[in-house]
Amino acid sequence: MIETSSSYRGMVVAPHGLAAQAGLRVLQDGGNAMEAMVASAAAISVVYPHMNSIGGDNFWLISKGGKVWGVESCGASGADVTIKNYSERGLQEIPARGGDAAITVAGAVAGWEAALELSHQFGGRLPLTRLLEDAIWYAKEGFPVSKNLAETISSKHSELLNIGGFEELFLINGEGPKAGSMLRLPKLASTLEFLTRAGLNDFYIGDVGSEIAKDLKRLGSPLKKEDFIEHCAKLVEPLSLTLSGGRVFNMPPPTQGLASLIILGILERLDPAMDNTPEFVHSIVEATKKAFEVRDEFITDPSYMTVSPEKYLSEAFLDEMAEGISSKSAAPWPNISDIGDTVWLGAADSDGCVVSFIQSIYWEFGSGVVLPGTGITWQNRGKSFSLDAESVNALLPRKKPFHTIQPALGFTNDGDVLSYGCMGGDGQPQTQAMLYSRIVGIGQGIQEAITAPRWLLGRTWGDTTTKLRIEGRFPEETIQRLSELGHELEVLGEFDEITGHAGAVRVKSNGLIEGGGDPRSDGLAAGF
């Protein structure tokens, strides 16, 4: 029996149990969902360091009283970062690792600060020392290495050797830690402790920011202290789309949130038989291809966009997209795939605040650069820039890169609020559509929808294939029919984390809070 976790007082879902419990403890201490999410975000930046870090970015969707706020905190490239910097050295693309990959400011901490400022408008009062308490403890005293972390270090450490600080922090005698062994991050603990005293903005304008800038320079990054001073998180208007089951929200550019909404809009028009049928899988896969064509042609830093994202959510456009999809054959894969490692988390409190949150360093361990003074692992989000000056995502100084990460949230017609999401590059929009369709479209329970067999078209986790990879729990007739439709298939194991770590929290109109974590992760839905 697959049971959804339920409570009335609060719920936190995270892909690592210690992070979920950190947020739950804040709720139990009287904090709201935004405060709980800061606690969970800080904790998971410690215990899941391959997936995210305070050296990365984050995005928030926050619902309260029928209104939805978006928090965008993604860092731009440095003022001195140009295509010329790379082309003069004969490089055709931005390196994935090292100082040349660490070219965008980390927005995560500013995102926490912006969310807390909003939280204070609704009575949030817990001190920062309390919110970062669990994260600091795990970094200082140690936490058990998860199987996921151990395997990632083992598979990636050869490409990360000799990149500033990685070996010293994550390897013991040249070998990665075993699952269940203890890992400590003392310098990161000190950094977090200092921020509780100096304030989160010190990460950008104070002593921590100065230390970060010095270390980045030593390790070959072009970022400077001035780039950090320029950064700020901001509240943004989310994109939204009305469907037959309710209204869904996602983040605007530079994220691929638009693609997620396009998929749902197309899917409603196709109206396939749901769940594990070949029609359901085929329809989402083909809608994904259409959405990604738009994504790859137009989505970039909104300051550089020439069209409004809302254009692609119009009834006429979605009708046209749906009409271009064949129910009898698979279209070719249209684009270069994107990858990414990410953590999605959700939270809800008893006062009606619901949070959908995502935090990332892009690839596993990001740039691989670990700053010696602060213990921070720096992202390689700038890798998504192109060195082709004609590209929509061409590298420019002080430009925000395209982001795969995007949290999702929805209001249902019967008064529920649904927070949901998933990690993993191209997989995120597909899994979001899958979850929403199963939960809202056919009424599956939260945990049932998350646990149900999934698929992935495109790339994630550093992979390169564009095959349609499908978990082996799908009915044989579904797999056979998809092959007949022209999908190039790779059948996975029964539960394969290549399909991502998903989660969801739902607050029902009667006050019941439901949540589900992903058995493919180390996660937990923690309620009380």
Do 426 and 475 belong to one domain?
Answer: yes
How far, CA to CA in Å, does 527 sit from each of 193, 235, 357, 509?
27, 28, 17, 17
Do 351 and 428 belong to one domain?
Answer: no
Query: Among all residues, which ones are annotated catalytic?
Result: 342
Structure tokens at 319: 């009708």
Q: Is residue 21 included in any domain, yes or no?
A: yes
Do 151 and 281 belong to one domain?
Answer: no
Do 310 and 450 belong to one domain?
Answer: yes
Do 230 and 302 belong to one domain?
Answer: no
Pairing of strands 468-471, 489-492: parallel
Query: Which residue range(s) make up the domain with 177?
Result: 15-235+345-384
Q: Is residue 65 included in any domain, yes or no?
A: yes
Q: How many domains does the chain have?
A: 2
Angle subtended by helix axes 186-198 and 133-141, to nearest 10 = 150
Do 354 and 320 belong to one domain?
Answer: no
The helix or strand, by DSSP H or E, that contains position 425, with its residue range, turns out to be none
**pLDDT in 10s for each residue of the chain, 528 residues:** 488 999 999 999 999 999 999 999 999 999 999 999 999 999 999 999 999 999 999 999 999 999 999 999 999 999 999 999 999 999 999 999 999 999 999 999 999 999 999 999 999 999 999 999 999 999 999 999 999 999 999 999 888 988 878 988 999 888 899 999 999 999 999 999 999 999 999 999 999 999 999 999 999 999 999 999 999 999 999 999 999 999 999 999 999 999 999 999 999 999 888 888 999 999 999 999 999 999 999 999 999 998 999 999 999 999 999 999 999 999 987 665 555 568 999 999 999 999 999 999 999 999 999 999 999 999 999 999 999 999 999 999 999 999 999 999 999 999 999 999 998 778 889 999 999 999 999 999 999 999 999 998 875 544 555 789 999 999 999 999 999 999 999 999 899 888 889 999 999 999 999 999 999 999 899 999
Whole-angstrom Cα distance, residue 444 to residue 275?
Answer: 9
Do 51 and 118 belong to one domain?
Answer: yes
Contact 331, 286 (CB under 8 A): yes
Do 244 and 215 belong to one domain?
Answer: no
Q: For the domain that residue 481 is a member of, what is the CATH number? A: 1.10.246.130
Do 374 and 325 belong to one domain?
Answer: no
Q: Is residue 392 included in any domain, yes or no?
A: no
Give me the phi and psi of 58, to 5 degrees please: -150, 160
Whole-angstrom Cα distance, residue 333 to residue 315?
Answer: 25
61 CB-near residues (< 8 Å, 6+ apart) = 68, 69, 70, 71, 238, 249, 250, 251, 355, 356, 357, 407, 408, 409, 419
